[in-house]
A and B are shown apart, each in its own frame.
Chain A
Amino acid sequence: MIVVPKPNPSLTAPEPEHCPGPESENAGKEESCAGCANQSICSSQIPKGPDPDVDFINDRLSNITHKILVLSGKGGVGKSTFSSILSWALAADEDLEVGVMDLDICGPSLPKMLGSELESVHSSNSGWSPVYVTENLGMMSVGFMLPDQDSAVIWRGAKKNGLIKQFLKDVNWGKLDYLIVDTPPGTSDEHLSVTTYMKESGIDGALIVTTPQEVALLDVRKEIDFCKKANIKILGIVENMSGFICPGCKNEFQIFKPTTGGGKALADELGLPFLGSVPLDPRIGKSADNGESFLDLYPDSPASTAILDVVDALRDSVEGS
């Protein structure tokens, strides 16, 4: 169902419905593999030594100066929205080459947010070409490989890992100053895989996005714990949807009230940098829906100022070190 540009040359039959993926560690060995024509091919893979693909991945990533993960733990706080705006902001500097990798395989939002929904991925001898949003901003997402928008990718973790590896191994990013990696909520396969595969080539750090309320912070604490366990430096915390100014009476309301002090209190408690708060602006969501750059369209919004402050703080942290 997914139209990947490079067909796997070794499979002779369609995969069974709960296929763990021919690239997975359990290829050919899962219960759902029984009866599949490919079982002997998959299970006869050479037993594991060091994964040879990691060398290919290191090679691809060696021309990328800064790699940043955008994490949260909590869903719906604005990871993808922030990733897209961050990418637009970095790419506004024409001297920078920027790449964005969408690791949310079940819910890929970035193609829509970056106005590239209808594009598809082309492959050549040098690998898969990123989809170029502007001359200096390229991206990769499973969203480009779906036959239509409504298609659901209903995959178990092992299969997702295979695609993530391909994103890292086969995409020809070329030379990049920044690679922004947008992740889905949680601390599961996608997060483990990307940190494992990118470990040798190095990750500059993680940007943690949250909203002010405690229910969100609960999940963010877990994500921070994950970063500690996976040895990922935390570049800082951003608090999104921080206050809303009613366009009618101009009063400020805390729709997602920081009952326990919000992102700033969490950052202080854990000794992490707090990069800033971004207020709710309905035009952010609207620009994301329309695939347009919020910063370009509404530079006078308080949200734009707040976002650019965060981007500056992030760049200082990453480039200054």
Chain B
Amino acid sequence: MPRMSKGLPIRQKIPNVEKVILVSSGKGGVGKSTVSTNLALSLRNLGLKTGLLDADLFGPSIPKLMNLAGEPRITETGKLIPLVNYGIQTMSMGYLISEENAVVWRGLMVMKALQQLLFEVQWEDLDILVIDMPPGTGDTQLTISQQVKVDGSVIVSTPQDIALLDAVKGITMFNKVNIPILGLVQNMSFFLCPNCNHESHVFGTDGVLREASKHNLEVLGSIPLNEKICTQSDIGKPVAISDPQLAPFYASIAEKVRAKLF
């Protein structure tokens, strides 16, 4: 691993990948994986060769969301071959361990495994790689920000203050490590009753919009709570490719991301 004089690693490009974006939060459970998956599928719908990397070693959700499973094959040079579905190349810790087994690892081992997922995957000529980040601002975030050339990050949050507290820590972290923030996504914005059209702000109102303007960041999209997003995720058929009513929410985010990067 090439190092600078102070002992810190130099950021490297991931082989065969043109642009790298992180979908991050700080807070758990706001929809990073759901947004990552639907965003990746939407970017692919725009004609970009897209990859999706699941950087959550402890709670890898991408296999379920993408309806993929099974041990990846290895190339002659020992690189992992991505699993593909819906036209997207993917890699996840979830393919390497069985579903019930916990990965109970301390930070150093996490770093080693992450390095393999970052640099030893045989991606095929990707225009863009979407990295689904785990919650927090710890080992995974530090390793990726130190070792990978990242072109931008998208921060996902739900509207309530508690989630925003952590999202702002995410903003602080990216600023500290000099990773450009493309914008924020407000997820679970409100629930629109399919029966009576009543708008319920289950997790608060517009918190992300307020926070974005405080930090001079753009809001890339605002996604409502809808049963179908969750049920489609559970069966591995994300709404970006299965629900014409909900797909546009993610498509518009993809368009903005593409415009900012290319």
In the complex where A112-B161, A149-B165 touch, is A229 in contact with B104 (Cβ < 8 A)?
A: yes
Beta-carbon nearest neighbor of B167 in chain A: A107
Determine whether A41 belongs to the interface, using a CB cutoff of 8 Å to chain B.
Answer: no
User: Is B6 at the interface (CB under 8 A from chain A)?
Assistant: yes
> In the complex, what residues of A have CB within 8 A of residue B29's CB?
74-77, 185, 211, 216
A156 interface neighbour in B134, B139, B233, Cβ under 8 Å: B139
Q: How far is the CB of B109 from chain A (nearest CB, A)?
A: 9
Task: Report how far A144 CA is from B64 CA in the complex, Å.
Answer: 38
Mark the stretch among A29-37, A88-96, A127-135, A313-321 that contacts chain B. A29-37
CA distance A51 to B4 in the complex (A): 36
> Are B8 and A76 in touch, CB under 8 angstroms?
no
Contact of B231 (CB < 8 Å), options: A160, A229, A249, A257: A257
Pick the contact of A154: B141, B171, B200 (CB < 8 A): B141
The total of interchain contacts (Cβ-Cβ below 8 angstroms) comes to 230
| A93 vs B145: C-alpha distance when bound (angstroms) | 47
Residues of chain B within 8 A of A81, CB atoms compared: 162
A285 near B160: Cβ-Cβ < 8 Å = yes
B107 touches A213 (CB 8 A): no
* A122 located at the interface, meaning its Cβ lies under 8 Å from any Cβ of chain B in the complex: no
Other-chain contact of B106, A76, A113, A192, A282 (Cβ < 8 Å)? A192
Cβ contacts under 8 Å, A285 to chain B: 160, 162, 202-204
Q: Do A215 and B138 touch (CB < 8 A)?
A: no
Partner of B230, one of A74, A113, A213, A221: A213
User: How close is A73's CB to chain B, nearest CB, in angstroms?
Assistant: 6
The smallest beta-carbon distance between B247 and chain A, in angstroms, is 19
Kindly name the residue among A75, A113, A253 whose own CB sees the greatest number of chain B CB atoms within 10 A: A75
- Residue A214 at the chain B interface, CB threshold 8 Å: yes
> Which residue of B104, B136, B204, B231 is within 8 Å of A107 (Cβ)?
B136
B107/A157 in contact, CB under 8 A: yes
Closest to A254 in B: B227
Q: How far is the CB of A16 from chain B (nearest CB, A)?
A: 8
Q: Is the CB of A192 within 8 A of B162?
A: no
Which B166-181 residues have a C-beta within 8 angstroms of A? Answer: 166, 168-173, 176
| B110 on the A face (CB < 8 A) | yes
Q: How many angstroms between the C-alpha atoms of A73 and B57 in the bound complex?
A: 11
**Residue of B whose beta carbon sits closest to that of A76:** B29
CB-nearest residue of chain B to A270: B100
**Chain A residues in contact with chain B, CB under 8 A?**
17-18, 31-32, 34-35, 73-77, 80-81, 105-107, 109, 112-113, 149-158, 160, 184-189, 191-192, 211, 213-216, 218-219, 221-223, 225-226, 229-230, 244, 246-249, 251, 253-257, 259-260, 280, 282, 285-286, 288-289
Tell me the B residues contacting A by CB distance below 8 Å: 6-8, 26-30, 33, 58-59, 61, 64-65, 99-108, 110, 134-139, 141-142, 158, 160-163, 165-166, 168-173, 176, 191, 193-198, 200-204, 225-227, 230-231, 233-235
